[in-house]
Amino acid sequence: MRKTKRFEEDARYRVANREALIGVVLVMINFALWFGFAYGLGSKPVEEYSYIWGLPAWFFYSCIASTIVVVILVILAVKYLYKEVSFEEEDEE
Amino acid sequence: MNGEVIIPLLLFLVIIFFVGFYASKHIRSTSNFLQEYFLGSRQLGGFILAMTMTATYGSASSFVGGPGVAYTMGLGWVLLSMSQLATGYFVLSVLGKKFAIMARKIRAVTLIDFLKERYQSKWVVILSAASIIIFLFSAMAAQWVGGARLIESLTGLSYTTALFIFAVSVLVYVIIGGFRAVAITDTIQGVVMFLGTLVILIGTIIAGGGIGNIISDLTAENPALISPFGSDQSLTPLYVSSFWILVGVGVVGLPQVAVRAMSYKNSRGMHKALLIGTIVVGFIMLGMHLTGVFARSVLPGIEVGDTVMPKIAMEVLPNWLAGIVLAAPMAAIMSTVDSLLLLVSSAVVKDVYLNYVKPEADDQRIKRFSIGVTAVIGILVFAMAVNPPELLIWLNLFSFGGLEAAFIWPVIMGLYWQKGNASGALASIITGVGSYILFHSFMPNAFGMHTVVLPVILSLMAYVSLSLITARRHEEVQAKVYEKLWSA
């Protein structure tokens, strides 16, 4: 905001900002899967539904399979994208 | 009502009491009472963090109200409830590290501490504290009513006696144990919620003769029950999607959830919580609402939605197991109420009393005052819940969406947009709460979306435009805030 910065910005914020964006991307993927399967497969007449494990296919994919996919994505994101940063230094002042 | 159902409930209450006493030891030995009592000294590990977030968020509506609606609406309502999956990872990703780091820089104990340092404005503090106290107080009273009704229906005790039992059990551990007691009991309650969901879901599927059988029963009754549009075709894709704002991403703005994002020990804990939280929220929401739908095939013809859960548990499970399962909604209510109680108390003590009434109070005095205030608020809520006044019921309608509309932008933009300033935050809070109440009263579910959507959009516009218009006026303060909060 100022023309000349008189101090270094906290480097940990770069990590934090990136992870916030990852969170937003995850929500968008989650929403797309949920919406796409539910209304993509579920909008036809009920007589034409197909079933998986006894459940209507739209429900199986949008509420069960997508949930599992999102959980896997969260696991991968936490494992490979989220970085550990220390909070300690601030505590010890 | 027989003893086998009541014994697990009693056992549950006894365990919770012991946690309170355990946590009160930490309070006696702590060097910083405020940090310990209202934030557990920022020592939460991943599992406890995940559980306390989930349990605080999952309330009476996830275990009693929600499944009741699912019973009436069918699979479409389960679809809607799955928008809550996002809370598990989104809140911690977005608030996550930034909030944890900033809160430590300024030693914030409450959400309002953060807003105070970020915006340096008395009015932001006063308005936020007022919204928290008013809205959460009414939300809390409503949950107490739910808790008491549940005990009433399970034990056959009178409403007032049931309320008294519920109130005493919550008050004791919150008053003596503070945040740490709340977080640990939330964890136990979260585990009970998780197992309860698993047991009741399996029990209902078996009683209904398998999923395939249940679904064909439902199709025979009304094919729309298994469509995404609800039994009466009223669930439009737009309406259902708008719940992603109310119960998905908007949850970031709830103070009781946000405060947890500054309570954890380290980033490893946060990562773990993100994972566990997503799995637990996903499982509980799917399981409970699906049970509600399946219950329709096992026990058709239930008129009152809120009684679906107790009735189905008694029907499909042996008594002692039904007792354990029915401890789950009670756990859900208690774990929400305890956090709200502590939060309202922290708003009074930390945000009002210490900021404006008696900044120089010493530790001993703060301690007595905090415990006293928590007790008084608890007793007030009890008094209100005995015979809930109209005003309270009215206020409770806005508590969830109103708080989201008030806080979501001052928090998120405050963290990520350096140009956001006090005028923007004030405008955002006023627009958010004001337009929420107006839309709710005069134009509910405007344009086919849940009422929360437009106020959230309007409050964003208010925040951004006012911050930009008044940028000059705040230039000096903003530079200081920027240096304090953003510098390494």
Q: CB contacts < 8 Å between A and B, how many?
A: 161
Window A:33-52, CB contacts with B under 8 Å: 34-35, 38-39, 42-43, 46-47, 49, 51
Window B:373-412, CB contacts with A under 8 Å: none
Distance from CA of B428 to the nearest CA of A (A): 22
Give the domain range for residue B223.
3-387
Residue B137 lies in a domain: yes
Distance from CA of A60 to the nearest CA of B (A): 10
First to last CA, chain A: 28
Judge whether B480 is closer than 8 Å to chain A, CB to CB: no
Residue B460 lies in a domain: no
Q: Nearest CA to B437 among B422, B458, B423?
A: B458
Domain holding B196: CATH number?
A: 1.20.1730.10
Nearest CA in chain B to A64: B286
State pLDDT tens for residues B189-229: 888 888 989 999 999 999 999 999 999 999 999 999 999 99
For residue B264, the tally of other CB atoms under 10 A from its CB is 27
The confidence score (pLDDT) of residue A5 equals 57
A42 vs B contacts (CB less than 8 Å): 227-229
State pLDDT tens for residues B18-56: 888 888 888 888 778 888 888 887 888 888 888 888 877
| Residue ranges per structural domain of chain A | 16-23+35-82
- Give the percent of chain B with pLDDT over 90: 31
Q: How large is the angle between the packed helices B267-298 and B159-207, nearest 10 degrees?
A: 80
Cα gap B123→B112, rounded to integer Å: 11
Q: Which of B227, B237, B267 sits opposite A84 (nearest CB)?
A: B267
DSSP annotation string for B406-464: HHHHHHHHHHH-TT--HHHHHHHHHHHHHHHHHHHHHSTTGGGS-TTHHHHHHHHHHHH
State pLDDT tens for residues B308-335: 888 898 889 888 888 888 887 777 788 8
State pLDDT tens for residues A65-86: 999 999 999 999 999 998 888 8
The confidence score (pLDDT) of residue A93 equals 38
Q: How confident is the model at residue B457 (pLDDT cuts 50, 70, 90)?
A: very high
Cβ within 8 Å, pair A91-B104: yes
> What pTM was computed for the model?
0.88
Q: How confident is the model at residue B468 (pLDDT cuts 50, 70, 90)?
A: very high
Nearest CA in chain B to A29: B86
Judge whether A26 is closer than 8 Å to chain B, CB to CB: yes
Residue B337 lies in a domain: yes
Find out whether B222 and B82 touch, Cβ atoms under 8 Å.
Answer: no
DSSP annotation string for B233-266: S---HHHHHHHIIIIIGGGGG-HHHHGGGG-BS-
Average pLDDT of chain B is 87
Distance from CA of B88 to the nearest CA of A (A): 10
Judge whether B75 is closer than 8 Å to chain A, CB to CB: yes
Window B:265-284, CB contacts with A under 8 Å: 265-268, 271, 274-275, 278-279, 282
- Cβ partners under 8 Å of residue B224, min gap 6: A46, B74, B230, B231, B232, B233
Cβ within 8 Å, pair B213-A55: no
Cβ within 8 Å, pair B267-A87: yes
Cβ within 8 Å, pair B486-A91: no
- B195 by Cβ neighbours in 10 Å (0-12 / 13-18 / 19+) ranks as middle
Residue B413 lies in a domain: no
Residue B440 lies in a domain: no
Which of B83, B222, B267 to mutate to probe the A interface, most A CBs <10 Å? B267
Beta bridge partners of B44: B264
State pLDDT tens for residues B362-403: 888 888 888 899 999 989 888 888 887 777 777 777 788 888
Residue B355 lies in a domain: yes
The confidence score (pLDDT) of residue B152 equals 79
B88 vs A contacts (CB less than 8 Å): 74
